[in-house]
Amino acid sequence: MNLGKSIQSIRKRQGLTQEVLAGKVGISRPSLSQIENNSVRPEQDTLKRICEALEVPESLLYIHSFEKEDVPASKRSMYEKLFPIIQHMIQELTTEEKKPDAGTDQVQQP
């Protein structure tokens, strides 16, 4: 399980810097860096705040951090079939939709 990599992946997909996410969570950027590098496992309260800041359920973060090595060898073929689908779903759920700027809307003339 690679919780830090999952946090980093979702943060980047949402276009957030470590500085911005750390500020939203109320921790330092170096602390977030240690979490993302799996040097430090976040306290439960910190993990909850990270999930709130990223707007993802904690359970989804755990699923996203699941790795092939976490699966018994006898179940890996099933993992290899299903997990890409699950990862794609998670990516869709965690990617920030880009909204057009108000100034870039073009009105079509009849």
For the chain, the structural domain boundaries read 3-95
Q: How high is the pLDDT of residue 103? A: 41
- Please tell me the predicted confidence (pLDDT) of residue 96: 64
- The CA distance from 26 to 2, in Å, is 22
Low-confidence stretches of the chain (pLDDT beneath 50): 98-110
Among 50, 43, 68, which residue's Cα sits nearest to residue 9?
50
The CATH code that applies to domain 3-95 is 1.10.260.40
User: For position 91, what pLDDT does the model report?
Assistant: 84
Contact assessment for residue 7 and residue 39, using Cβ atoms and an 8 Å cutoff: no
Which token pair is 80? Answer: 């290899």
Let me know the angle formed at the C-alpha of 17 by 15 and 22, rounded to the nearest 5 degrees. 125
Give pTM, 2 decimals: 0.78
Residue 97's pLDDT is 59
